[in-house]
Amino acid sequence: MTAVSETAGRTPTDLPWYRAITWVHWRVLIAGWAVWSLDAIDFLALTFVLTDISKAFDVSLGTTSLLLLATYGVRWIGGLLFGSISDRIGRKLPLLICLAWFTVCAVLTGVATNFTWIVICRLLLGFGMAPGFSLGATLVAETWPAKYRALAIGIHDTGWAIGGLGAALIYGFIYPWTGWRGVFFVGVIPAIIVAVFIAFWVPESPIWHRQEKPASIRDEPAAMLFRRHLRVVAYLTLLMLCLFFANWPMLGLFPTYLKSLQFPTGTIATLTFTVAAGQLVGFVFSGMIAEALGRRGGLAAMMSGGVLGILIMIAVIHNLFLAEVFAFIGGGLLIGASGIWGTVLSEHLPTEVRASGVGFLYNVGSIAGGFVPFAVLSIVSGLGIDFGVAMGGTTITAVVLAIVVLYFARETKGVSLTDIR
């Protein structure tokens, strides 16, 4: 704890960022990043095998897509509960519990014997995976110097892209040998390694250590979040709903869309891998863009460019080379823009409720993401609209709404986390 207290928040101004950051900072970032990566693998594996589960249990594809909504529909509960616990007992232990929880639930999904079992497993997984992003992002935000906060959270968010790359590789190389069940077992050994690393080598948040702890139920972080900060919570809830709605036509349905075009497994894995690779680059640069253009300007610019890339990709999808190019651009800008989300949330909430707020807001927004696949598939089947048109139209509508809502956000570039009230 002493080492963190001495280094967090104090960075020589005459050094490049990569030399100014200490090994303590890197350990925290690696921990949050690794949990988020494994979280993404365990969740995104499902998007590759929706059609397999549909056939295995004789359930319609539209109904099977509701598994995504089931997972996301309960995440806000887990995010709020884990966040409140984290604001009371620290960031580290809840992060470990989260890692163990979603790993076990993924394994249980892989051994399911009926569709009801899978529904229950995905509900439980949604509850436990909820703080995978928020606890890691909060720990990183509270440990890294303010000057490099957006950069660090952007790097932290590359975990989702790495998860996407991992899921695509698992689908391309493991799925042909094991079928859909095998994809849910891959994360077990990495999760054990990450858990040991966090337990023995990752320090607690120095800002949390200095924060006065709740003295009564009335001062419980989850209660204070709504009692003292209701207007901020309401606005950020609307913003996160729009942002998730913009991302999830691609994140939730891209493999299913490619399957509808009768593309072979290798092509599906390659295109999905390219989108994830774009995300990886986008997440890394999102922090730099947020520092250069501000939080609002950076988000708006990346989303605008990203939706254009997605629309062009859909238009040229049968030209594999061009599809790869614009899949990379669309994934990098549209989905990569979510690397700024954690910074926006962290910089709007005080330390006493930060984990509770980020956990609740990020995961209540994910409800919109979980609903998107069902909505798009319903449009395709109910109205007879082309799959690509429905996916692209939903994306551009959601992006426009998100940018309109974003216009009313408070710019928080350069804010000190300890000064937020």
Tokens of 64: 């099977």
* Through-space distance between the first and last CA atoms of the chain, rounded to whole angstroms: 25
Evaluate whether 309 touches 326 at the Cβ level (below 8 Å).
yes
Residue 10 lies in a domain: no
Residue 375 lies in a domain: yes
Residue 3 lies in a domain: no
Residue 11 lies in a domain: no
Indicate the pTM of the whole model.
0.76
Per-residue confidence (pLDDT) for residue 371, from 0 to 100: 86
Tokens of 20: 């100014």
- Answer positive or negative: Cα dihedral of 368, 374, 375, 377: positive
CATH of the domain at 124: 1.20.1250.20
Write out the residue range of the structural domain in which residue 382 sits. Answer: 18-419
Q: What element of type H or E holds 391?
A: helix 387-406
Q: Where are the beta strands (DSSP E) in 102-141?
A: none
Mean of all residue pLDDT scores within the chain: 89
Q: Where are the beta strands (DSSP E) in 212-269?
A: none
Q: 284-299, pLDDT tens digit by residue? A: 899 899 989 999 999 9
Per 3-state DSSP, the chain is made up of helix, strand and coil in percentages (nearest 5) of 85, 0, 15
**What distance in Å separates the CA atoms of residue 308 and residue 311, rounded to the nearest whole number?**
5
Per-residue confidence (pLDDT) for residue 278, from 0 to 100: 94
Per-residue confidence (pLDDT) for residue 215, from 0 to 100: 54
DSSP string, 322-347: HHHHHHHHHIIIIIGGGGGHHHHHHT
Residue 180 lies in a domain: yes
Q: Residues with Cβ < 8 Å from 104, sequence gap 6 or more?
A: none
**Closest C-alpha to 109, from 78, 75, 64:** 64
DSSP string, 283-307: HHHHHHHHHHHHHHHHHHHHHHHHH
Residue 8 lies in a domain: no
Tell me the C-alpha to C-alpha distance, in Å, between residue 166 and each of 31, 65, 163, 180, 243: 17, 21, 5, 15, 24
10 Å CB burial of residue 203 (0-12, 13-18, 19+) is buried
Residue 9 lies in a domain: no
Residues (pLDDT < 70) of the chain are 1-15, 17, 212-219
- What is the chain's alpha carbon radius of gyration, rounded to the nearest angstrom? 20
Residue 144 lies in a domain: yes
Q: 288-340, pLDDT tens digit by residue? A: 999 899 999 999 999 999 999 999 999 999 999 999 999 999 999 999 999 89
CA 402, distance to chain mean position in Å, is: 17
Looking at the 3D structure of the chain, how many domains does it have? Answer: 1
